[in-house]
Every structure is written in structure tokens, then in C-alpha cells.
Structure 1
Amino acid sequence: MGYKTLCFGFSCILFAYCLYSPIPENIEERWKVRYVDTIIKVASRMATLFENIGLMKYETIFSTMATFYITQAVSDENITVIDTDFSGIPVRLYLPKRKSERKRPAVIFIHGGIFVFGSCKTTDHDSLNRHTSNKLGAVVVGIDYRLAPKHPFPAALEDCVHVTKFFLQENILSNYRVDPSRICIMGDSSGGTLAATVTQLLRNDPEFKNRIKAQALIYPGLQLIDTFLPSHREYEHGPILHREMMLKVASLYVTRDSSLTQALLRNEHMPEGSRHIFKFVNWSDFLPEKYKKNHVYTEPVLGKLNASYPVLVDSRLFPLLANDSQLQNLPLTYILTCEHDLLRDDSFIYIVRLRNVGVQVIHEHMEKGVHGALSFTTGTVALQLGFKIRDRYIHWLEENL
């Protein structure tokens, strides 16, 4: 009894401490955001404790939490929802029921979750894809790709590429009455990372280069070459996405060796001979003056990490490492960023680089926004910001797809 009381008391103190941690003043629905942020911080601290005492791995608590929100494939009066597989990879299809004289647009949806947790079948993603399908009369394909650490890089990417190529076959598009000239790839957070890479790979593949009309990237993570970007420093403690948690989980996509996480935190993870790629992510060249503030650019430190991870210089892992000739073939691009987001500056760099090589980019910036808001459009912690992001994204699709 005493042990349980002690644990309960500790949990209350921890929750209260996290609840009153400072967050930016101008965030919409500040107390809702603070509550969600507190849950994440408490989960992170509990996960660290459980891992330290050997009870479970750090990432397990987040993976377990995500499974609570998995939904069944339930059709309604407007949409037929089917769980099936493409090329042996699980997908969830959303097929409009209403008849259409013309062929339908299609959206290939790639979910976030730092490559380690989540699913296209969770409540929030299911709701988004239903809304997209219904509003646009579009076929939506949600990809349930393999997750790290059980399936490290490039497993998730390979699954997304295989599903996309399978779907883009003429007979498959014809079967679902999809217009091959009206297809968009979309992803949020790490799903945006995967969507950006899939788009790069397909647009530079002669067989598929003209099959993708557009890409939509919602607050994507596009690099971990430099983990000291201004937004990384300013939003180290969130809200919602915290630097230590993000790096600890993201590194599992590469390795289970915790030394990589520690090197990432110190910005000392890049291998010798990689200085030539820093130009692709040098924020002092690409960030608007507004976001440089009083930050001073310093290069990541080379050669401090004993282990060697060649994948850290692979553009398939970090889309920002693609050179200009690879970027200039990309289709119409929609990027949405949030002001109070650790990943904000990744997108600003990508936007400038894409525009510099002639890619048409539509950029929407949510001044009071926070990372992950699109995942909070259901339940008691639904955020108006999430609905605004959803509606802006879908409006852009209506205008451009």
C-alpha cells in the first residue's frame, strides 16, 4: 500500500511539474496544448524510468499508447473503407460511393510517428482520410509501413515506395477509376519525411517521373545533419515535440545504439568526410532573417562518434541532402509549417532550395501553431488549430489536384 501511495504521489508531482512548464504565450487554446504537452512529457519521463530499471524499452510506452487509438475499417454512407494490402504491405483504402462522370483524384497518405510508432489506422488519421475522400471525391491510400526499431531504415521507405509504385500501375488506377494525372503524395511529420523522399525517388525514375502531380508536406522533418538549427534550440522543450525525445526515438530508425542519440544531442554525430553536404542544410544561408535572431551558425562536429553510420549522409534518409539537380524535377509542392515547432526550420530551408531551382511551392505558415496539431481533431483534446490545418490542406487539394 505504501509503495502504491508513493508511486501515485510521485506521479502527481511529476504531472504538476510538467503542467506548469512554460510554453509560448501566443499559442491558440493554450491550456489544451499545455495538457497534451504535459501528457507527452510525463510519458517520456516514465519511459526513461522504465528503461533504466529494465522494465521496458523507452519507445514501447509510445508505441503502446498509439495502439489504443487504432480503428476498424468501418464504411459509412459516403465512403467504403477497406483494409487490404498492396504488394504485400498493409494499406487502408477510402473509396467514395457517390458516382462521378470523371475519373477521381487520389491521395497517397503516409503517417507520422518518428518512424517508430503510429498507423494510418489511428482515429486521427482515419478521420483525416475520410474527410479528404468525402470532400474531394478522392481515393485515399493510407500506408501501414513497417516500424523501427524492429525494422530499421530503409524498411519504412521501401514499403512506401513499393505501395506507391503498385498503386500507380495503369490497371490498378483503372480499377479504382483514378485519374493518373491527379495524384498527390501527402505526409505529416516523419510521414512528410517519407513523402518527400518517395516523391524525389519517383520523379527521378524514368518510369514514374510524370505520375505524381503534387506533394503535400505537413510540418515535415527533413534532416538531422545539424541538430542545432534555431528552431531546435528555441523549442528544445516543446511544446508537443521535444528535442531529446525526438532524437532518442528517431535514432532508432538507424540503430539501437544509444551513443548515436547522445552524439545527436551534442551535434557531434556526423562522420569524417561529410562536410561537403553541410551546404545543403546551412541555415545561415537559407533561413529568413526573422528566424536567425541572435543565433550564430556553427558546423556540426565531425568524427566524434566512434561507430560509423554511412546512412547519415544518405538523401533517402534526409530529403534535404538531395542535390539541386534532383530537386528541380519535383512537382507542385505544398508545405505547411508551424511557428512553435522544433522542425520548423527544416521546411524553411527546403522551401528556399526548391524555389531556387524553379519548383512551384505553396507555403502556409501557422503563426500560433504547434507540431502535431493535425493529430488532434478528435476527442476531448481536439484543437481548432488541427481543423484549420486540415481545412487549409484540403482546400489546397481542391484547388490544385
Structure 2
Amino acid sequence: MVEAMTMTAFTTNETILDLNDSTTAGILSSSPSLATTDLYDPDFGSRLYGGWNLTYHDNTNTTLDQSYVWALYNLPSITFLTLNLLIGVIGNSVVIYVYGFCMKATPMNSFIVSLAILDIVTCSVGIPLMILQDMLPYIVTSNPTCKLMHFVYSTTIIASSLVLVTIAVDRYRRICQPLSGQLNVTQVRLTTILLVIIATVTCIPVILMAGALEEYSEFVDLQRKFCYLEAGYINSVYSAVFYSYKSAVILITIIITSYCYFRIWFAYKIPPKNSGDPADHVVRRMSVRAASVQPKIRPNVKKMFMITLLYIISFVPSICVILILMSANEEDKNLHPVAISFVHLFRRTYLLSCSLNPFICWYCNATFRLHVKSIASNWFATENSTNSISEATSSKQNDELHNAYTEKIS
């Protein structure tokens, strides 16, 4: 239980009660139980003011203590975000280094690096803002921070979706249409940059619409501050259009990637029949060879399919929570702070696709595993040699000091 605060004033729906006033002091002194009552107790207002709701005046102590209360309730969400932050930043940094600097530059490796860059931006910029918002809502949560947070994760979500669609189409063309023109490394990089620019431009409206809101929580008798939309854009046409666009991008990503990987699976299982056309005969031979002989294609297809599947699964809880909240009545939306914390957690499960992709790369790519093991062994060897040198130097200095001391005594 949070310790009772020393406060200067309470506001009720009729009057302001000054705790330093002589009348108020007499009331509190006549009832020691009230004077020592935890001010966050939901029943405190009903006992002292006959059921009036209390709103705390903003001051430094009040702000910090209220943030502390909400931080305790948001502990599950904060823990989830912290784990995603650590795993995502470290894992995607390793992916960028290995695929970008240690392995051969190929179209697929360029796609992987692009996804890792988008994921590390989400993990290093968006997630810290979410953590601070949950830990210190009254200090950190403001219109500028909310606009930045919404813009970052909206841009990275849409950009990642467009890149995943491009990868799925590229895999489909390479396996099912091997004679058609294929993207090279330069084209992949330019395409990725173009997709990021498109995502950035289309997410500019969220900078105007996002903002901080406050609502009263009757369960803890406190105001709750959170990031959503500015009051003027709630239930507006502009916000409806933007979120419809964002939902459409995710839905189209799921449909196109599912179709492409199904066709790839179908091509592996059932090679195309020979119609007598020499071109079809060549395509059939190349498709059969791609499905049964070439070891370089299967791991890439498996890897990108698993990354796409993780992307889809990670959005399922978030979409379900949003649909439930949209269909709920206004009275049902007044949730207990513990329930609000878990709502935040499930709405952010899409972050799993940012932090767990490095594990898929580890599982599906033996070359990536070898490079990571080599980097780790070299790092530990360097640390051990540095420690050995430090110990040897320290021992030598101790011997020299001992000899000098002995000579001085003699």
C-alpha cells in the first residue's frame, strides 16, 4: 500500500477543502483514523465527504505518488515491454551486423537487414516511450511524447507490412516464375527505401491527431493519463480514415502473404504439369529442381514464412482486444486498473514480431549461427586475454613493489 501523502488541498464537486485550514485540522484531529488514512483508499472520499469524488490538485508530490500508483498497476505491461526492449535491441543489432557486414550481400539478406532496422527503431524509440508512459504517466505523458510514440510505431508497422508483402511476392516469383525478371540487391534497397518513405508520409496525419487524455478511475479515485487522440479528433472522420487505412494495410498484408506462401507450398508439393510448350517444360524442370534439389531456397522460404506467420499471430490478440473494446458499452469500458494493464499488454503483443525475429534467423540459417558463435567466442577470448594481461601486470607490479620495499628495509 502506498504511504499517505501530505497534500495541500482537495477539490470536491462543491468546495475546496484546505488541509492547512483550522476547521479542517479540527475535523482531522477529532478523527485520528481519518488523519492517518491512506489518501489512495477508494473509500476515503465516501467516509470524509459523504461519497463526493476527489480530484487531487497537481503538485510535485501528488504527481510522483499518483504515477507510482499507476506504475504498480502497469507492472505486467512494463515487464513485457522491458523484455521486448532488451531482446529486440540486442537481437536485431546482431542481425544487422551479421547479415549486413559478415554475410554476402544478396536480395534476401538485404530484406532481412531492412526488417531488422525497422524493428530496432521500434524497440529503441517506441518501446522506451511506452515504458515511461506506464511508469510516469503524469510526468512523461504529454502531447509531444504521444505524437512521437504513435508516429514511430505506426510508421514501422506499415513499413514492415509493405516489406513483408514485397518479400512474399519476391519469393513467389523466384520459385513459381523463375524465368521472370528478379530483383537484385540494389533494387531491393531502393524498393525498401521507397516503402519506408510511403509509410512515413502516410503516417504524418497521426502527428496531428495523437495526444494525451485523462479519465477518472472510480476504482482508485484517481485520474488516469494516457496516450490516445486529441479531444477534437476522437470519433472524427480523420481518425476513422487513418485507422481504417492502417487496418487495411495489415489485412492486405495477411491476405497477400498467405496467398504467396500457399502458392509456393503448392509448387513444392505439386510441380506444374507439362503442357508441351518448351517454355513450360523449362519452368517445370526449374520448379522441380527448386523444390527438391537447391538447398539455398528452402531455408529462405521457411525463414520468411515463419517471420510472416509470427507477424500475423502477434497481431491477433491486439486485434481481438480492439474489436472487444469497440463493441463494448461506455459503462463496460470503465475497467479496473489491473484490467487496464492487461489490456495494454495484449494490445502491444505485435511487438513480439520485432523482438523474436532474430530467433527465427538463428533457427533457420546455419551460416548466421556460425557467425554469431564465432563473434561470441572471439569476444570471450578477448575478455579472457584482457583479464589475464591485467592479472599478470598487477602481479608484476606487486612483485616490483615488494622488491623495492625489501631493498629499502635492507
Instruction: Bin the TM-score by the shorter chain.
Output: under 0.3
Using CA pairs under 8 Å that are at least 6 residues apart, name the structure with larger relative contact order, 1 or 2: 2
Larger radius of gyration: 2
Greater helix proportion? 2
TM-score (norm 2): 0.27
Greater strand proportion? 1
TM-score (norm 1): 0.27
